[in-house]
Amino acid sequence: MTGNAGREQRYMLAIFLIVSLFFLWGVANNLNDILIKQFKKAFTLADWQTGLVQTAFYIGYFVFAIPAALFMRRAGYKAGVVVGLLLYGLGALLFYPAAEYTRYGFFLFALFVIASGLAFLETAANPLMLVLGSPEGAARRINLAQSFNPVGSSVGVLIGQHFILSGIEPTPQQLAAMPPAELAAFYAREAHAVQIPYLLLGGFVLLWAVIVYVTRFPAVAESPEPEEQRQPGAFLELFRHRHFMLGAAAQFFYVGAQVGVWSFLIRYAQHETGVGEITAANYLTISLACFLVGRFVGTVLLDRIGPARLMTFYAAANIVLAAVAAVAGGAVGLYALVAVSFFMSVMFPTIFALALEGMGPLTKPGSSFLVMGIAGGAVIPLLMGWISDQSAINYAMLVPAACFGMVLWFALSPRERAA
């Protein structure tokens, strides 16, 4: 036991740096929810166009998940973390020229670069937490790291709420009455609001990349994967396992539902209750608090109920809550939509674990494949935005209700084991 404790002490700084990654990508993920509201105002976008924020972001995950895994096989996990942080920081810095040119497409490209970096970070972080210390403490370290993700999400929303959103929301009639110079100045001011927060975020992330680079990690984290452990046909082999592929589909739809709900929650609150954008953002903060509480409660319940059974109950609860948000509307619908976050809390890691259960040597390529499922966040919000434009924002919540139906199907499906 003394040797194991000494091993963790030896790499305490490395553990701290990797735990911080869960916080940092939480900040980036949920700043997007603020950007959706901000860009709608700064560029006068339709709801489906605001959904492109998440499309550009999560396409980055999809494109770079497998390349990130292949890169780390050859260069090591630590190198992957450094590359991920560099891309994250670069993407954040690109917000400055994007605001100067006031081009929505430029912002979308910057978000794509950020997400490409996060694909590296997410592919590396969980395996690194396994090797940074004793095997006996692996579960504890991963649970500790995961708890920092919703904290980062909450911080991202608070940064956006207080340093990006202005609270100034002219009506269409007021905008039409503005002189051209005043109107142009208003749009430029709203676009420029993102510059300083993202400039500071980018600088901090690049500094973190330098610290990770000079920090000593164990050899297993810095070395390439041995040639004999690589499996050239591993990714194709995954398609032979029905339960795993069903899990990948469930992950796709779950992430899409999560991103969609949080992306349009501010818009929903304003549409259904008439509150201002800053007040509406408080409901997103409350949702993230529910998510954090749900994760701790779910962690306790997982041992007592079992992951598949718990996720069955949680998915069924969210189908009902999302349907209430779609049909009831008003304050009741808003409260139901906020409550969805509590039951979403354990879904991502639980789907991840159940999909990989018994996959043996296919676990590593399977992990990368599941990270690609994050691309659901690129598709579902876009669909929700289109439905909102064609009808109303409350009816768009039928989409996450259907997504949670897919999660329920996976939770109820019989599990198989790899040969």
Least confident of 95-109, 179-193, 251-265, 347-361: 347-361
pLDDT for 231: 60
Amino acid 260: pLDDT: 96
> Are the CB atoms for 372 and 61 separated by under 8 Å?
yes
Give the least confident one: 38-52, 338-352, 359-373: 359-373
Q: Which pLDDT value is given to residue 7?
A: 56
In this predicted structure, the answer to whether residue 6 has a pLDDT above a threshold of 60 is: no
Lowest mean pLDDT among 39-53, 168-182, 326-340, 349-363: 349-363
What percentage of the chain exceeds 90 in pLDDT?
62
| CATH number belonging to domain 1-230 | 1.20.1250.20
What are residue 406's phi and psi, to 5 degrees? -65, -40
Q: Please say whether the beta carbons of 157 and 37 come within 8 A.
A: no
Contact 51, 385 (CB under 8 A): yes
Output the pLDDT for position 232.
58
| pLDDT given at position 312 | 95
- Range(s) within the chain of domains with CATH label 1.20.1250.20: 1-230, 236-419
Would the CA dihedral through 155, 33, 307, 61 be positive or negative?
negative
Dump pLDDT digits (tens) for 391-406. Answer: 999 999 999 999 999 9
More confident residue, 134 or 37: 37
Question: What's the pLDDT at 196?
Answer: 96
CA distance 202 to 100: 17
Say how far apart CA 364 and CA 101 lie, in whole Å: 42
Sign of CA dihedral 31, 32, 38, 43: positive
Structure tokens at 397: 């919540």
Closest CA to 277 of 37, 100, 61, 23: 37
Nearest-5° angle of CA 17, CA 111, CA 44? 140
Architecture of domain 236-419: Up-down Bundle (1.20)
pLDDT in tens, 277-324: 999 999 999 999 999 898 888 878 877 888 889 999 999 999 999 999
Q: Which residues contact 64 (CB under 8 A, 6 or more apart)?
A: 115, 116, 119, 120
At residue 331, what are phi and psi to the nearest 5 degrees?
-65, -35
| Prediction pTM value | 0.84
pLDDT beyond 90 at 212: yes
